[in-house]
Structure 1
Amino acid sequence: MSSYLMLFLLLLDINSQCVIAYLSSPHVGQEPPYTAQQSPVMSSPVALTASSTAPVVTDSYLSRCPSGSQCSRLPADCIICAFHHNCSYGRPANFTCRARAGVHCVNEQGQPQQNFTLTLDCRFCWQLDASQYRCSNSTSCMTVSCPRRRYNASCEALEHVHCLGKRVFQKRLFCNWTGGYKWSTALALSISLGGFGADRFYLGQWREGLGKLFSFGGLGIWTLIDVLLIGVGYVGPADGSLYI
């Protein structure tokens, strides 16, 4: 019984020491320091004035900015806009913009202008139509597969396209590169010389081509099956590319 009492007193002493150490800590009762963070989203349009901090003039964008052109027709890299994200998707919205440092533009009357209003459809860059941005291509993914494979592409909005958010974004796209193989040629070879494996040789599938050659097209059964598979596009080039 005495051993249990000694153990209880030992635990009580350890617990009291932890409590005293915690209460004596200088952080107890004090709020953590507040660090201001700048929000990347603007809830309302902000007028841009000449006193705003101007970016450093570099030749990287000046070479693409025509001098003396209309301000609202400048490429996206030539202007700075106060985009607000509380607009309705797909509907026109007005944004306050100004030309970047070193860029000279005019209004519709031909008078020099610094600040102007730009009207564009409310959508983020990654929501643009496929014709309004360009993406990197991948030649390492298989295009002829079931299901069709995708790859992570780095995309960028075209210079003349204005949109909200980052102009460089990531998208999951279908593998769509081609090695120059024609579907019509492969189908014609499958119908005419498929019994000798000509279609498989053309597509770069040498093992299947040799198998059809020495088996006389699988006694005609393999030849008929390949005509159907190539016709529907299920069998494609060995490098995984698309037909042209």
Structure 2
Amino acid sequence: MATVCQIWRPDRGRCLKSYGIIAVLFMDLMLQCVNGSLSTTNVETHYTRDGPLITSPVVPAAASVFPADEDTSKCPSGGLCHRLPADCIQCDYHLKCTYGKPTLFTCRPKKGVHCIGESGQQQTNFSLNITCQFCWQLDPSQYRCTNSTNCMTVSCPRKRYNATCDVLDHVHCLGRRRFLKRLFCNWTGGYKWSTALALSITLGGFGADRFYLGQWREGLGKLFSFGGLGIWTLIDVLLIGVGYVGPADGSLYI
């Protein structure tokens, strides 16, 4: 039997070593790219004894930069600086603050707006005490949202719609002052629950309650069936009484 002998070559180990060095360098380059992408996060949250601490090495451009041609004709001039509306001042908002805690921010009136301090002298820079929270975290009483009349309020489960909300002028907050929110359908077409219930009890056999609510087909059905021989009338009294049957346009009762 012939013996197969493999001759060891000195340069074979050297080639493997070179390939290993190249592979290590490639892995190191990939790790640096991943670490760089992870380190670009704008907002970091740390928790302290007083609550979550919002920190950021970068100030969002939307919070501190305003268009140069923004209209300031509605901004009052000559009043106290800290009483100016939020759209009339420019603040250097930073996110190194504890959520829900008052924080001092350096602000200045916009171009063309003049204000004075407590001493009566005109100021170009002043400090403003603002609660550390974003605009979308405000209480609903501090902003106004658009209302949709194209969604059904009487439905199970309750439906929502996309609303555009604007913060009130005198309220100061971090981030964009216009934001989107998902709200429950909540609008009325002027129908009164008491009127619908009274018509259901008195004239329900003739479909008056259904006609009042805009449900013409059900009203005609009750009219020609004499209220379903009284059974449909009793059922409608219960359904309208508990609010299960509402206006045909999907709005709420007044």
TM-score greater than 0.5 by the shorter chain? yes
The verdict on how the C-alpha distance between 1:170 and 1:83 changes in structure 2, with shifts beyond 3 A counting, is: same
| Runs (4+) off by over 4 Å | 29-32, 37-42, 53-57
**1:109-156 deviation per Cα after TM superposition (whole angstroms, max 9, x unaligned):** 211011111112222111111111111111111011111110011111
Check conservation: 2:103, 2:129, Cα contact below 8 A: yes
Aligned to 1:49: none
Cα distance in 2 for partners of 1:225, 1:72 equals 60
Alignment of 1:129 with 2:139, yes or no, is: yes
Gaps of 5+ in 1: 1-22, 24-28, 47-52
User: Secondary structure of 2:175's match?
Assistant: coil
- Aligned pairs, number: 217
Aligned to 2:18: none
User: Secondary structure of 2:239's match?
Assistant: helix
Aligned to 1:16: none
Q: Supply the AA of the counterpart residue of 1:211.
A: G
Gaps of 5+ in 2: 1-21, 23-27, 45-53, 59-63
User: Secondary structure of 1:172's match?
Assistant: strand
Alignment of 1:220 with 2:230, yes or no, is: yes
**1:81-129 deviation per Cα after TM superposition (whole angstroms, max 9, x unaligned):** 1222232222222111111112111111211011111112222111111
Alignment of 1:114 with 2:129, yes or no, is: no
**What's the TM-score once normalised by structure 2's chain length?**
0.74
Question: Which among 97, 103, 119 is matched to residue 113 of structure 2?
Answer: 103
Cα distance in 1 for partners of 2:92, 2:105 equals 6
Alignment of 1:167 with 2:177, yes or no, is: yes
Check conservation: 2:42, 2:57, Cα contact below 8 A: no
1:154-193 paired onto structure 2 within 5 Å = 154-193=164-203
Cα distance in 2 for partners of 1:39, 1:123 equals 16
Aligned to 1:18: none
**What's the TM-score once normalised by structure 1's chain length?**
0.77
Cα distance in 2 for partners of 1:126, 1:56 equals 22
User: Secondary structure of 1:114's match?
Assistant: coil
Aligned to 2:11: none
1:41-56 paired onto structure 2 within 5 Å = 43=55
User: Secondary structure of 1:228's match?
Assistant: helix
Aligned to 1:142: 152
The verdict on how the C-alpha distance between 1:186 and 1:104 changes in structure 2, with shifts beyond 3 A counting, is: same
**1:179-224 deviation per Cα after TM superposition (whole angstroms, max 9, x unaligned):** 1111111111111111111000000001111111112112222111
User: Secondary structure of 1:112's match?
Assistant: coil
CA RMSD of aligned residues (A): 3.2
Check conservation: 1:196, 1:213, Cα contact below 8 A: yes
Q: Percent identity?
A: 71
User: Secondary structure of 2:98's match?
Assistant: coil
Cα distance in 2 for partners of 1:172, 1:57 equals 32
The verdict on how the C-alpha distance between 1:214 and 1:55 changes in structure 2, with shifts beyond 3 A counting, is: closer
Alignment of 1:64 with 2:91, yes or no, is: no
Cα distance in 1 for partners of 2:100, 2:135 equals 12
Aligned to 2:251: 241
